[in-house]
Amino acid sequence: MDEVDGKELTVFDRLGDRPPMAEQIDWTLIRLDKEAETISLSFCSPEIFTNPAGNVHGGFVATMLDECMGSAIVGLSDAQYLPVTVSLSTDFIRPVPIGKVFGEGRVTSKSDKSAFLEAKITDSEGTILARATGFYRIYPFQAMVKRNHD
């Protein structure tokens, strides 16, 4: 077990800096539950992400849902796999306000080359604001990162 100042490091700590897109939506790990095959995250949307009605634009909401699902694959596999989104089906249930929201991603089925996942975004009271299902191809993490940096 790797620790820093008495805190157990997660796979995401070992990977280093968050990608720029994750910085934009303030991707924050809350919990990684390998037994339940879920990940819990939070996001914080700035005002620049709003649509004319003053709510978070659906494209950013879809990004958060995609991050919940993709991060579940990375976290639950201890960064053995990097997912690539093949399809994403999104239901926008209620307007997503600017500020902090919570996300959960869950693996529903996985093989050595692909995975089906689901995700939801909720407010602080647990009200579901949006949900999605996704199909992902999964590739060896190190090979994908190396290929994209060469």
CA distance 68 to 27: 9
Total domains in the fold of the chain: 1
- Give the global pTM: 0.88
How many Cβ atoms sit within 10 Å of the Cβ of residue 136? 25
The pLDDT value given to residue 31: 93
* CATH code assigned at 30: 3.10.129.10
The pLDDT value given to residue 6: 52
Which strand (E) or helix (H) includes residue 105?
A: strand 99-110
The pLDDT value given to residue 7: 59
Mean of the pLDDT values across residues 74-97? 95
The pLDDT value given to residue 21: 82
pLDDT at 22 over 80: yes
Mean of the pLDDT values across residues 57-82? 94
Instruction: Provide the pLDDT confidence category of residue 9 given band limits of 50, 70 and 90.
Output: low
Domain that holds residue 83: 3-149
Q: Number of C-alpha atoms within 13 angstroms, CB side, residue 18? A: 13
Closest CA to 90 of 107, 66, 108: 66
